[in-house]
């Protein structure tokens, strides 16, 4: 800070030396680009200026000099105090819509709402498929005994016969031809015994004749009774045939005197054997190709294999019917029976009609024979 005034004084001295040659009668203004200040000199009015300048008058104020060179940048001052808060700015225009944010975490479950009013009844659903046929019902109780028919009309007593004379022993006649059988009538109720006729006089004893034929009246009565029974039997057979056709459709098959039926039930060998026994039959046990084909048709109809009433539980490899009789007919599939894993003691029939040995604990479709 002390160096700056010294330099200014030195510059003023050099300026005065350069302007000393000017004439006293003129005002001299000269700019020295190397000087640090501008000095204005005028003519001396009260004598020469003193050496130290203290006895001279103050000259006129010089014109404002041009701006000096920019000084060195000062060091940064301490930060000023924080000014007062400005006025609240106006509401800015809304910004552009931002991109959709990520899905947030699931919130806590809300309180369950009040139960709504019951909705209207929906339309009825489609008709379900036909169910499998039910199991065969138990045998009904026997019917009550019919009332006794009306008694027949009593026959009238025959007239008393005349006493005949003893005839000569005649020759044995030829046996007549058998007459044509009359149409069978319905058997009437047994009539009451008619009242006995009057006792005739005792005739004289004749010679012993040859043994005669049996009385025609009793024979004709027996014939009528047999004919009536035959008619009733034919009616029963016709009704039974129609009945069998009804109960066989579509769950059964008839082969000769055998009927093969299924109820659609499925179970293991023991349960199926017990059910057939309770129904008055036994598990299907085909003894020929025709009976095996009837069972195969039921297998195809239900698309399920069935157990046969055949096994080798007692002796491995010796298959027998349920009554212990050795089988006389078989229809094994190629490579069977093989007793796989040592547990295949029962026999099943596939849709091909072929037999396979399998475990008795498996569940198969029931087919009974009657």
Q: What pLDDT is attached to residue 305?
A: 97
Query: For the chain, which ranges sit under pLDDT 70?
Result: 1-58, 110, 113, 122, 124-125, 128, 130-198, 200, 203, 205-206, 209-216, 242-250
pLDDT score recorded for residue 200: 65
At residue 22, the pLDDT reads 43
Evaluate whether 356 touches 336 at the Cβ level (below 8 Å): yes
* C-alpha triplet 100, 101, 102: angle, nearest 5°: 125
pLDDT confidence of residue 238: 76
User: pLDDT per residue over 78-124, tens digit each?
Assistant: 877 887 877 877 787 877 887 887 887 777 776 776 777 777 776 76
Residue 51 pLDDT: 55
pLDDT value of residue 261: 93
Q: Dump pLDDT digits (tens) for 258-297.
A: 999 999 999 999 999 999 999 999 999 999 999 999 999 9
């Amino acid at each position: 800070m002390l160096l700056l005034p010294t330099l200014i004084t030195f510059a003023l001295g050099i300026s005065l030396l350069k302007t000393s040659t000017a004439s006293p009668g003129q005002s001299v203004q000269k700019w020295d680009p190397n000087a640090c200040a501008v000095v204005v000199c005028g003519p001396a009015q009260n004598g020469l200026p003193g050496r130290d300048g203290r006895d001279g008058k103050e000259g006129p104020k010089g014109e404002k000099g041009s701006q000096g060179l920019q000084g060195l940048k000062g060091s940064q001052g301490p930060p000023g105090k924080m000014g007062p808060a400005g006025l609240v700015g106006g509401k800015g225009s809304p910004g552009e819509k931002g991109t959709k944010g990520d899905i947030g975490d699931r919130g806590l479950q809300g309180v369950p709402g009040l139960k709504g009013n019951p909705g209207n009844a929906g339309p009825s659903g489609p008709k379900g498929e036909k169910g499998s046929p039910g199991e065969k019902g138990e045998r009904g109780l026997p019917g009550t005994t019919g009332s006794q028919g009306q008694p027949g009309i009593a026959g009238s007593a025959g007239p008393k016969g005349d006493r005949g004379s003893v005839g000569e022993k005649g020759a044995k006649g030829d046996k007549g031809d058998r007459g044509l059988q009359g149409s069978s009538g319905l058997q009437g109720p047994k009539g009451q015994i008619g009242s006995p006729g009057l006792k005739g006089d005792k005739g004289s004893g004749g010679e012993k004749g040859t043994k005669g034929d049996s009385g025609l009246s009793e024979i004709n009565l027996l014939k009528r009774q047999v004919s009536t029974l035959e008619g009733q039997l034919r009616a029963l057979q016709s009704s039974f045939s129609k009945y069998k056709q009804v109960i066989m459709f579509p769950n059964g098959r008839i082969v000769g005197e055998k009927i093969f039926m299924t109820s659609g039930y499925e179970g293991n060998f023991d349960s199926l054997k017990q059910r057939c026994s309770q129904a008055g039959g036994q598990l299907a046990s085909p003894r020929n190709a025709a009976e095996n084909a009837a069972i195969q048709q039921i297998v195809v109809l239900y698309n399920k294999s069935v157990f046969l009433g055949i096994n080798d539980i007692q002796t491995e490899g010796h298959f027998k019917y349920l009554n212990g009789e050795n089988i006389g007919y078989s229809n094994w599939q190629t490579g069977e029976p093989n007793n796989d894993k040592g547990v295949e003691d029962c026999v099943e029939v596939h849709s091909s009609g072929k037999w396979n040995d399998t475990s008795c604990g498996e569940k198969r479709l029931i087919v009974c024979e009657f």
